[in-house]
Structure 1
């Protein structure tokens, strides 16, 4: 990869499929308000082609946002990862350092926590997780950050939960892996997070006990409502829109791209957040 210089200002979200992504709206709104002449694009990058894309990047690149299926595929290409990316085994954000090194971050975890905070959920002891991929690992870390002690994980294929099972002891969590079908008889919980693609038909409806006690954060936002969210809403359950996670993780990405630090607030950050939120209307 060519070593970038201080004039770089190009960013993009990579993944497959990617045409539906609302990330360009969010980022362009933020950079316009911040007075930064940066571009932000979408790039269709299927699994297995990420290395070629990275090799073709020139000195104008500032950073990348990553979606399915690249959050784990990128890891071998990173010179460094932040604590959360290393813990979750997934990076959704890459910043190009001044010397050309690729630095990996995970802002999905903070995005989940931010979306839940907007919905008044700031403490969880017993959670339910649907799915076992890279985003599911981030969701598990988020639940741990919110104080969870036990999480039931529902997956269609038990092998898909192997990374989740391995991660749980590092977080001080007890994980109980169950088949998707067990959602029909699931007991009460304080939170459900679904990380399966939006068009997925789980083939089962969640129990009344689960819907009546636990808000559902469905990280998918296209199409909306997802089948799971529609069923939750039809039974008067609480649903946290997946766009909330997208918004808050994007704000953290903007921090990374501007300063290199996801913990350093932006100038007039509340105004940045609001203009980003309005871009989704």
Structure 2
């Protein structure tokens, strides 16, 4: 374990998650659990309701005590022009979910969703697949494609609604070097036979697919974490398929955020997962 980059132990360090809406976010629970496990009593982590219109003003008010920010919707792209730079991973999908603030005030954007998704799958033994399916489009789907670019040897089938979404996913595929085959949402059930299915849609969106799970399903990664399990995840598990949920992604990407912001490695994955599970059980 390396020492925190925060300076002297008595120096107060701040971090927070920004977004709108934000009251539901589990990020404070996860990051505070990490600080407790690492003995970082001088670190604090809060949540702030911040819209796109108020984002620049919030950044202008940051003082030297700030070490980093987590970002959720609708700020993942809005933050980019307000930063001093972004990592290649974040640039690949034009989405920043993490801002690291250095001691000289420089703000760099990172994306921990992509490596977090890869790490969560690897933890379950999924390190390489011959093909995959992505349910949905948008920012989370783009991050899923970027993750699949690292572990998928063959084509990715994207199940979307509408030609605009289809064109968007094809565009992301070309940019990320992934062969994307687009399928209309009405035919999504036929794509559930892929060895890996990543559902990037909001809660309830995949409910209609729960009774279409194949007899011998592969691995399902459903990014929803509340309510959990989703009907699709429950049906998948009942058929004997491996299932990962939104908490798996949330914890793994948050571990990377903690490491980036504090400089302490490795982050306390087990403590953060336990805190997240406890918080969800209490809801």
The two structures share one fold, judged by TM-score above 0.5: yes
- The aligned counterpart of 2:173 is 168
Are residues 1:9 and 2:6 paired?
Answer: no
> The residue matched to 2:133 in structure 1 has which SS?
strand
1:148 aligns with 2:144: no
The answer for the alignment partner of 2:270 in structure 1 is 274
Partner of 1:131: 136
Structure 2 unaligned blocks of 5 or more: 1-5, 279-283
1:151-230 map, 5 Å: 151-186=156-191, 188-200=193-205, 203-205=208-210, 207-209=212-214, 212-230=216-234
Runs ≥4 residues deviating over 6 A:
none
- The aligned length equals 268
Specify the SS of the correspondent of 2:159. Answer: strand
The Cα offsets for residues 26-45 of structure 1, whole Å up to 9 and x where unpaired, read as 11121122222111011122
User: Contact 1:89/1:137 (CA < 8 Å) preserved in 2?
Assistant: no
- TM-score norm. by structure 2 comes to 0.86
Shift of the alpha carbon at 1:149?
2.2
Residue in structure 1 matched with residue 123 of structure 2 by the alignment: 118
Compared CA separation, residues 139 and 233, structure 1 to 2 (3 A): same
Unaligned runs of 5+ in 1: 260-265
Is the 2:64–2:103 Cα contact (8 Å) retained in structure 1? no
**What's the TM-score, normalizing by structure 1?**
0.86
Across the aligned residues of Structure 1 and Structure 2, the Cα RMSD in angstroms comes to 2.3
Cα deviation, 1:212-260, whole Å, max 9, x if unaligned, reads: 332110112112122432342344433112111111111110111013x
Report what 2:259 is aligned to: 255
Instruction: Report the equivalent of 1:263.
Output: none
